[in-house]
Amino acid sequence: MTKRLSSFAVPAALLLLISGAAGQVRLLDVPYVPTKFPVVDEMLSMAGVSKNDIVYDLGCGDGRIVIGAAQKYGARGIGIDLDPERILESEANASSAGVADRVRFYTGDLFEADIREATVVSLYLLTSINLRLRPRLLRELRPGSRVVSHNFAMENWKPDASSEVEVDGVRHDVFLWVIPANASGAWTWTMKIKGKTTTVRADLIQKYQYAKGTVKIGGTEAAIADAKIQGDLVRFRFEAAVAGSPAAFVFEGKLVGQSINGTIRSVVDGETRVWTWKAFRNPTTEKPIDEPPDAG
Ligand SMILES: C[S@@+](CC[C@H](N)C(=O)[O-])C[C@H]1O[C@@H](n2cnc3c(N)ncnc32)[C@H](O)[C@@H]1O
């Protein structure tokens, strides 16, 4: 049977005290435990890292994750660690690996790091720390950015993918989330149904990458089904009787700001059509898509 780590088995007393610039001491939030290389490989592969990515490792240890991303995929990377010794190690490791021009390391607190340019964020922290970071990840990273975490998940923010790697008889979990665009709120657009221009309104309630809601079309109200927001792509469908005919619609489009542009596939009276979809949101109806950590 494989063992699994659910927390770092390190007494609090072994967490280093780090001196700040003004002589203050700052306790590490998580002890230094490096991710084993086969797990690093799985994290980078699951995140689909490429040369176009900027990979941030929050609490970067010896820099192995951003160095791996630069070496194997040609990505650029930033590592941040509270412990200056780790930063010196990371810089030396980056030079030995020949990627010093593609990566940068900073001594600092991960909670204060500006992460907005990251396209991939790597975490090997604790669930409690992930939950503290979660609102910022959802609000500050661009839709389509990926968050990959070793062993620790995000409670009710379900991962988009997960996998297991066994190293020396110990099971390691890897979780991946894709930052969803915020598609919540009231959207309207027009469609021609049986030759008549009809205004459609969809009200979307979104939690993380999932949404539910209703659509009002020509006096009919229907529940939205299978709504999913993957990065900036919004997809949902509904079925209803429209102008007396059974109809099914699939909406798929790219969200930018307060509009969605894409296609509608409709089957009305057994006839299939593909339409252009251009929807607009009332900006005052947009709501946060995350929940407080203790909401369950
Ligand atoms: C479990 S290790 C992970 C190291 C590396 N990411 C890896 O996967 O190999 C956690 C790291 O977070 C750092 N750390 C802990 N609290 C921190 C904080 N508030 N800000 C920045 N780094 C922190 C520790 O020094 C340690 O190097």
Distance between CA atoms of residues 266 and 25, nearest Å: 62
**How much distance in Å is there from the Cα of 110 to the middle of ligand 1?**
8
Residues sharing a CB contact under 8 Å with residue 54, sequence separation 6 or more, in sequence order: 75, 76, 77, 78, 117, 118, 119, 120
Q: Which atom of ligand 1 is nearest to the CA of 83?
A: 25
Closest C-alpha among 117, 76, 123 to residue 99: 76
Query: How many whole angstroms separate alpha carbon 168 and alpha carbon 74?
Result: 29
Q: Confirm or reject: Cβ of 89 under 6 Å from ligand 1.
A: no
Q: Judge if the beta carbon of residue 109 lies within 6 A of ligand 1.
A: yes
Look at residue 13 in the predicted model and tell me its pLDDT. 45
pLDDT tens-place string over residues 1-44: 455 556 665 545 445 555 555 567 789 999 999 999 999 999 99
* Ligand 1 and 18: CB distance under 6 A: no
Residue 198 has pLDDT above 80, yes or no: yes
Q: Which residues contact 45 (CB under 8 A, 6 or more apart)?
A: none
- Give residue 290 CA to ligand 1 midpoint distance, Å: 25
- For residue 86, the model assigns a pLDDT of 97
| Digit-coded pLDDT (tens) for 138-176 | 999 999 999 999 999 999 999 999 999 999 999 999 999
What is the spatial distance between Cα 178 and Cα 210, in angstroms, rounded to a whole number? 12
What's the mean per-residue pLDDT of the chain?
Answer: 91
Q: Is the pLDDT of residue 119 over 70?
A: yes
What's phi and psi for 189, nearest 5 deg? Answer: -160, 170
How confident is the model over 111-119, as a mean pLDDT? 97
Could you give the percent of the chain with pLDDT greater than 70? 90
